[in-house]
A and B are shown apart, each in its own frame.
Chain A
Amino acid sequence: MIEVRNLTKKYGTHEVLKNVNMQFDKGKVYGIVGENGAGKTTLFRCIAGLESFEGEINSDIQPLKNHLGLLLTEPFFFQKITGLEYIRLLCNARDTKIADIESRNIFELPLNQYASIYSTGMKKKLALTAILLQGNDYFILDEPFNGVDIHSNIIITEIIHKLRELNKIVIISSHIFSTLGETCDEIHLLQNGEFVKSVQKENFLELELEMKEITVGNKIEKLGLI
């Protein structure tokens, strides 16, 4: 369980997260949606302990950060470090010994090449592989489907299902509603630093339609396309 209580985050006078309260339970997949700048990444960084904040974040396994697999929106890679070394680095950091990394390379990445020359999708898949092999209990996946091909998209969806089966907590942010619909048990809408709506799986379609109405409205007509 991860419990977020009265979480507030300010950058100077700008309040990015406003008294956020949320509980994430084991064996569930949570989707966080919201416009750019709504506070999703800041929320993730606070949970991970990468940001200072006001409020409380508790977890059943302590310390949370040592059991958390964090997939960044744009994973960072050193120059001249291979895919294999990147995975080793992250596994060593958590003191996880993986005997045969290459046999677990399910995305068939060129692990002996420098990761910095990978494509966006390949980088994402490499970073995801690394945090999966770390053996974490909690996962925060910021835009896991960004830039990945259709085959990998299917594999990532299946991985998320498997993590649920293994009783892990998975929190995902994505701008692609269909993938969230397929993977999540609950979706929470973050707007201007506050959760304004939370829906269960049976009401996803309703939320999607509502968001479409709010976001699109009659904007397309304004283009005057003929």
Chain B
Amino acid sequence: MINRRFTDSGVEPPLAYVALAIGFIGLSFYLFHKTEFAQYIFVLSALALAGKFSEIRRTEFIKFCFGDKRWKKIRIAENLLIVFPFIIFLVIKLFFLSAIILFALAITLALMNFRASLNFTIPTPFSKQPFEFSTGFRNSFYLIAGAYTATIIAVVVGNFNLAIFSMMLVFAITLSYYTKPEHEYFVWSYSLNPRMFLIKKIKTATLFSSLLTLPIAIIIAIFFYQNIGVLLLFFLVGWAFLVCMIVSKYAAYPAELNIAQGFLIAISIWFPPLLIVLIPYFFFKSQNRLRSLLK
């Protein structure tokens, strides 16, 4: 399925794997260079990725196809395959304990099932303007709570970088709300032209993302007031990435973001001024893409 996705995006799978490997190595070095908490972020990221494979319906399907004995082996193999690059990197960086913990947790996780949907409705402050933030918040509220906790830790230990990281993590979480294209019916339903539709989406996203990041920003402003300029800069960059994500999503619509777009966004992480060019470029492309559905 992964190969098919690459092929659909117009990229040869071997080339995509090489690009992914280079991206992974580059990002890993960058992360370990940037923060002392890199090993924890690394372990959590690997487990979050492996956790995606523990969805109950998926596990039941594997059980149904391969029987009670083989499904455990398959799931363990899957998880180890996913966390393997992370373990290797931790070993290279001499974080042996983290590598062993990750190895053990990956195996444990393989034998657990998570329900993708709970039966009770998680309250959200975004209920008045569905859907991205209401569904996104319900899927990621625990990560946001984690970011808030990290902010408190940052204040306690007096670590400005960690505080900024927490805020950017919330922005990153909100970016993930815009990665998948919605059903055409939910674009077609709008009585707006493409330009107004995009502006409405951007307005909602910037307002709601601010609601989630403002508590962190206010705490940073109070406890690290000497760095308020840096805080504002990061806040603007967070907004810019969010806007870029929205317009790039609709620039590919109804398809998913393609590799080329992902590559451009990845470059802009290293060189954020690129967003000044990317946002208008994707905005105009989005308008063209949406013209068939929005008059």
Residues on A facing B (Cβ under 8 Å): 48-50, 52, 63, 65-66, 70, 72, 75-76, 78-82, 84-86, 88-90, 92-95, 112-114, 116-117
Contact = CB atoms under 8 A, between A and B. Distances in A.
B121 to A, nearest CB: 6
Interface of B: 116-117, 119, 121-122, 127-131, 134-135, 138-139, 182-186, 188-191, 292-293, 295
21 contacts: A52-B292, A63-B295, A65-B191, A66-B191, A76-B183, A78-B131, A78-B135, A79-B116, A79-B135, A80-B117, A82-B127, A84-B127, A85-B131, A88-B127, A88-B128, A89-B131, A89-B189, A92-B129, A93-B186, A93-B189, A94-B191
A204 B188 CA distance: 35
Contacts of A117: 117, 119
B190 to A, nearest CB: 4
B186 A89 contact: yes
A178 B216 CA distance: 61
Contacts of A92: 129-130
B138 A50 contact: no
Contacts of A116: 117
Contacts of A52: 292
B249 to A, nearest CB: 15
Contacts of B127: 82, 84-85, 88
B131 A50 contact: no
A94 B190 CA distance: 6
Given A81-B134, A90-B189, A112 B128 contact: no
Contacts of B295: 49, 63, 65-66
A92 B121 CA distance: 21
A63 B291 CA distance: 13
Contact of A80 (B134, B182, B185): B134
A72 B182 CA distance: 16
Given A49-B295, A50-B184, A80 B139 contact: yes
Contacts of A63: 295
A63 B293 CA distance: 12
Nearest to B184: A50
The residue among A80, A81, A89 with the most chain B CB atoms within 10 A of its own CB is A80
A63 B294 CA distance: 10
A94 B189 CA distance: 7
Nearest to A112: B121
A130 B191 CA distance: 15
Nearest to A76: B183
A76 B184 CA distance: 10
Contacts of A89: 130-131, 186, 189
Contacts of A82: 121, 127
Given A65-B295, A80-B135, A82-B121, 9 more contacts: A49-B293, A52-B292, A72-B185, A79-B117, A79-B139, A81-B135, A82-B127, A89-B131, A94-B191
Given A49-B295, A80-B139, A92-B129, A85 B134 contact: yes
A88 B204 CA distance: 15
Contacts of B183: 76
Given A112-B121, A114-B117, A76 B185 contact: yes
Contacts of A66: 191, 295
A72 B183 CA distance: 12
Contacts of B191: 65-66, 93-95
B182 A78 contact: yes
Nearest to B138: A80
Nearest to A87: B130
A220 B134 CA distance: 52
A112 B120 CA distance: 9
Contacts of B130: 81, 85-86, 88-89, 92
